[in-house]
A and B are shown apart, each in its own frame.
Chain A
Amino acid sequence: MYRALSIDPGKCTGCLQCELACSYEHTGRFNPAKSLIRVFTFHSEGRFVPYTCTQCTEAWCMQTCPVDAIAINTGTGAKEVLESVCVGCKVCTIACPFGTINYEQTTGKVVKCDLCGGDPACARACPTEAITFVDADQTGYEKMRHWAATTDAAASA
C-alpha cells in the first residue's frame, strides 16, 4: 500500500518546520530556500498553504524527460530524480503543471519531492498535522469525516 502526503492548509500556521525538515533531510542544512515543500503565505487572506509534488500517476516530468532520469520508486510510488542520469536540461520544469520540480544551480540537476524514501520528514516535523502521510487511496478520509460529523442523524433516518 502506498502512502501519500495529505495537506490541510486550514491547520497550517506558517512556521516552516516542514521546510526546515525537508532541507535538513536532503542537504544536511537548515535551509528553507532548498526545501522541496514550500509554504505560501496569503497575508491579506490570513491563509498559509503548504505545497509540494503530488506524485502524479502519469507524471509529466517523467514522461517528458529525454534521458529517463525520473523513475518510479516501486517501494513508495514516488517519482525520483536519478542524479547520475539527469543532464539539467530543465524540460521537466516546463512540463510540470504545478511547478514542483525545479533546477538546482549548485548541482546542475533538478530536484523534487521523493517522499524521503517512505518516511517524509515534513510530515514528521509538522506540529499541527497540517501535513500527514496517509493511505494513498484515502486522502479524502478526513474531509469525509468532517462532513460526516455535520450530518443530522435524527433527521436523516
Chain B
Amino acid sequence: MSWTGKVLRVDLTAGRVASEPLNAEWAQAYLGQRGLATKYLVAETVPGCDPLGPDNKMIFTTGPLTGTMASTGGRYSVVTKGPLTGCVACSNSGGFLGQELKNAGWDMIIFEGRSPAPVYLYVENEQATLMPAEEIWGQSVWKTDAWLHRRHQDPLLRVAAVGRATETGCLYAGVINDLHRAAGRSGVGTVMASKNLKAVAVRGTLGVGNIKDPARFMTAVNAAKQVLAGNAVTGQGLPAYGTQVLMNVINEIGALPTRNTREVQFEGAPRISGEAMHEPRPSDGKPNLTTNAGCFACTIACGRISTVDRGHFTVKNKPEYWGNSGGLEYEAAWALGADTGVDDLDALTFANFLCNEDGFDPISFGATVAAAMELYGRGVLSVEQTGGVPFDFGSSVALTKAAEWVATGAGFGRELGLGSRRLCEKYGHPELSMTVKSQEFPAYDPRGIQGMGLAYATSNRGACHLRGYTVASEVLGIPEKTDPLTTEGKPALVKAFQDATAAVDSSGLCVFTTFAWTLEDIAPQIDAACEGEWTPERLVELGERIWNLERDYNLRAGIGAEQDTLPERLLREAAPTGPAKGKVVGLAQMLPEYYRLRGWSADGVPTPETRARLGLA
C-alpha cells in the first residue's frame, strides 16, 4: 500500500503504452523511487549498453510517500544509464510533476526504445497517449510548457520537458519540470532527447490513498512537520536564504572551490551570497529575491524566486527575461560564480534562467566554463576558439555567452556541452578537469572538508554532493560535529550518509529534510503508510542494498576502483589559504578503510558474503 501498484510501460520504438503491476516483492526490498527504479534498470538493461542508444531505458519514478501530505512528499527521480559518466544515473527533482504522476495512478513510467519521430507522452489518469511533438522539437522547455498548456487547454497540466541543449548533444542536460525544477545531473535529459521524447505532460485527479494506517500516518506526519519547523536550518535558514545560506559559511572555512579550484576562497562570495540576494539593487530598489517557494507539500520552502535587473546587459531589450523565475541555489551560484570568478549576481541569475529554460545542469556547465577559462588563461585556447569572447576568469560576458551557446548548441557551446573532462582531454590537459567519473564536482572543496573527498570519489553517479553529504556533520554539526580537516572516522561517516541518503531518495521525500530529520523521524511515516514493517534499521540496510546494486551495475559497465579517485589538483596541490591551508585530500588514507567497511575487496568489488547479506543475486 501507498504504492499505486501500477507501472506504465512506454515502448517508444513501437509507439505502444501498457499498464503492468508493480513488482511488490522488489518494492519491499527497494522501497521506491531511486532504489526500486534502479532495480528495474539493472534487471532490464545491459550495463554495457550505449546510454544514448535504444537499448538504454529511462524511468520516471515516484516514492511511496510521493503525493501524500508528508512534508516534501512530492519528489520523483529519473533513473537511467548516464551519458556523461557511463554510470547509473539517478536525478531527483521536486516541483509538482511527481505528485501529479502519482495522482494519475502511476508509481513509475518506464520508457524503452526510441521513437522514430519526436513525440511527447500525455497522461490523463489511466489514459496514456504518445502524441506528435514535431512542432515543439527545437523549442525551449519554457516554450514547450506553454505550448502544451495551450494545446490541451489545461492550466493544471504538469509538464516535464527537455530543451534545446539536450537536442544538440549537451551531455549534462537535465529534465526540467514545472519550468524551473530539475532532474538536473548526469545527463538524464540527454537520454530523454535521444529517445525522441520531448516532454511528459501529466494530469492526475484520482488522488493518493491506500495509506495503511491513516490516523497514525497523520500523527507521524504532523510530528515530523513540527521537527522541521523547530529546527534552525529547516525552520529558519533555508526559508530565508535557501541553500545559498551556505555561500559565506563555506567560503569562511576555506572550502569554496574558486577559479576552477585553483583557490579555496572567493573574494566575491559575499556579493553572490544568499544575503546579497536580499539586498536592494541600486537601479530599482528591489532585491534579487522576490520570495521563497515550496515544492509540493514542502513545509521548508527553500526555493528561490528571483528577477534579473532590467537594466543589466544580459536582459536589456529582452522583456521575456524581466519576470520572476527560479533563482540561484547554492550549487548553481557557486558553479556559475565562484568557480568562474564571476561576482555579478545578475549575470549568475540570468545564466541560471538559461539553464532552466533550455535544460542543462548549472553545476557541470559552470565547472566546464571554469575549466575553459583556465585553458584560455594558459594560452591553450585562443580567443578565436572561444567564439571571439575572451574567456578570462571573472568575465560575466564569457559566462553568459557560454550559457547562450550551450542552450542552443551554437559554436563553442558544442564543446562546452561535452563537459570538462572531454573538453580538457581534447586540448591535452585532462588534469584541469575537476571531475570524478567524468562528472563535475560541486561546491565543496574536499581539501577543506575531507569527507567530501571520499564522497566524491565513491559516488555511484560521478562526483556529487547529494550521495553522501558529510558537510552536514563536518561543517554544520548534524547529527554531530566532526573535524572537517581530518580523514579519521570519515570512511564510516561517508558510508552512513550514503546509505541513509539512498533510503531517503527512495521514499518520495526530500533529502533536505535530513538537516532536521533522522531516520527515526522518517521511518514512522513510511511505516504508517506502507505495507510491511519499516524501521530505521531496515531503511539503513535497504540503503546499503541500493548502494551495492548501483556499484555492481557500474562495475559491470566497466567502471571500477581505478575511477574511485579525485583530480590531481585535490590530491597534490595544497589549499593556498584559509583554515585548510597546506592541506590536500587524504584519499589514500580513507579509501581502503571505506572498502573494508563496505564489505568490498581491496579492489572495490562487493564480496560474495556482502552480496549474500544484502540479498543481491
Q: Which residues of A contact B (CB under 8 A)?
A: 13-17, 20-21, 23-24, 27-34, 43-48, 125, 127-128
Instruction: Specify the chain B residue showing the minimal Cβ separation from A124.
Output: B222
Q: Which A residues are CB-close (under 8 A) to B306? A: 46
CA distance A54 to B298 in the complex (A): 26
Are the C-beta atoms of B204 and A29 separated by less than 8 Å? Answer: no
Question: Is B297 at the interface (CB under 8 A from chain A)?
Answer: yes
CA distance A91 to B307 in the complex (A): 43
Instruction: Specify the chain A residue showing the minimal Cβ separation from B155.
Output: A40
Asked whether A30 and B69 contact (CB < 8 A) given A16-B296, A43-B179, A46-B307, the answer is yes
Are the C-beta atoms of B208 and A29 separated by less than 8 Å? Answer: yes
Closest 3 CB pairs of A and B: A31-B207, A29-B207, A44-B323
Question: Is B225 at the interface (CB under 8 A from chain A)?
Answer: yes
Asked whether A29 and B323 contact (CB < 8 A) given A13-B293, A24-B69, the answer is no
Other than A15-B297, A30-B67, A43-B325, give 6 A-B pairs with Cβ distance below 8 A. Answer: A13-B294, A20-B297, A29-B208, A31-B103, A31-B207, A46-B306
Instruction: Specify the chain A residue showing the minimal Cβ separation from B228.
Output: A127
Are the C-beta atoms of B205 and A33 separated by less than 8 Å? Answer: yes
Q: Which of B136-167 contact A (CB under 8 A)?
A: 156
Asked whether A32 and B293 contact (CB < 8 A) given A15-B298, A15-B299, A44-B324, the answer is no
Can you show 28 pairs from A to B with CB atoms below 8 A apart?
A13-B292, A13-B294, A14-B294, A15-B295, A15-B296, A15-B297, A16-B296, A17-B299, A21-B69, A23-B207, A28-B209, A29-B208, A29-B209, A30-B67, A30-B68, A30-B208, A31-B207, A31-B208, A34-B205, A43-B324, A44-B323, A45-B324, A46-B291, A46-B293, A125-B69, A127-B71, A127-B301, A128-B301
Are the C-beta atoms of A127 and B225 separated by less than 8 Å? Answer: yes
**CB proximity of B219 to chain A, nearest CB, Å:** 13
- Number of chain B residues close to chain A: CB under 8 A: 37
Instruction: Specify the chain B residue showing the minimal Cβ separation from A125.
Output: B69
Question: Is B305 at the interface (CB under 8 A from chain A)?
Answer: yes
Q: Which B residues are CB-close (under 8 A) to A20? A: 68-69, 297
**CB proximity of A102 to chain B, nearest CB, Å:** 13
Instruction: Specify the chain A residue showing the minimal Cβ separation from B292.
Output: A13
CA distance A33 to B99 in the complex (A): 11
Q: Which B residues are CB-close (under 8 A) to A29? A: 206-209
Asked whether A17 and B69 contact (CB < 8 A) given A43-B325, A45-B323, A45-B324, the answer is yes
CA distance A44 to B291 in the complex (A): 12
Q: Which A residues are CB-close (under 8 A) to B602? A: none
Q: Which of B198-235 contact A (CB under 8 A)?
A: 204-209, 214, 225, 229
CA distance A113 to B393 in the complex (A): 57
Are the C-beta atoms of B229 and A127 separated by less than 8 Å? Answer: yes
Question: Per a CB cutoff under 8 Å, which of B207, B225, B293, B305 touches A34?
Answer: B207
Q: Which B residues are CB-close (under 8 A) to A21? A: 69
Main secondary structure of the interface of B (DSSP, over half): loop
Q: Which of B368-405 contact A (CB under 8 A)?
A: none
Are the C-beta atoms of A15 and B301 separated by less than 8 Å? Answer: yes
CA distance A128 to B67 in the complex (A): 20
Are the C-beta atoms of A15 and B294 separated by less than 8 Å? Answer: yes
Are the C-beta atoms of A32 and B69 separated by less than 8 Å? Answer: no
Q: Which A residues are CB-close (under 8 A) to B307? A: 46
**CB proximity of B373 to chain A, nearest CB, Å:** 32
**CB proximity of B102 to chain A, nearest CB, Å:** 9
Q: Which A residues are CB-close (under 8 A) to B204? A: 33
**CB proximity of B86 to chain A, nearest CB, Å:** 36
**CB proximity of A34 to chain B, nearest CB, Å:** 7
Q: Which B residues are CB-close (under 8 A) to A13? A: 239, 291-294, 298, 301, 303
**CB proximity of B66 to chain A, nearest CB, Å:** 10
Q: Which A residues are CB-close (under 8 A) to B325? A: 43-44
Question: Is B486 at the interface (CB under 8 A from chain A)?
Answer: no
CA distance A15 to B72 in the complex (A): 9
Are the C-beta atoms of A43 and B323 separated by less than 8 Å? Answer: yes
Asked whether A46 and B324 contact (CB < 8 A) given A23-B207, A27-B207, A31-B205, the answer is yes
Q: Which of B163-205 contact A (CB under 8 A)?
A: 179, 204-205
Instruction: Specify the chain A residue showing the minimal Cβ separation from B100.
Output: A32
Q: Which B residues are CB-close (under 8 A) to A43? A: 179, 323-325
Question: Is B290 at the interface (CB under 8 A from chain A)?
Answer: yes
Q: Which A residues are CB-close (under 8 A) to B99? A: 32
Q: Which A residues are CB-close (under 8 A) to B68? A: 20, 30
**CB proximity of A49 to chain B, nearest CB, Å:** 12
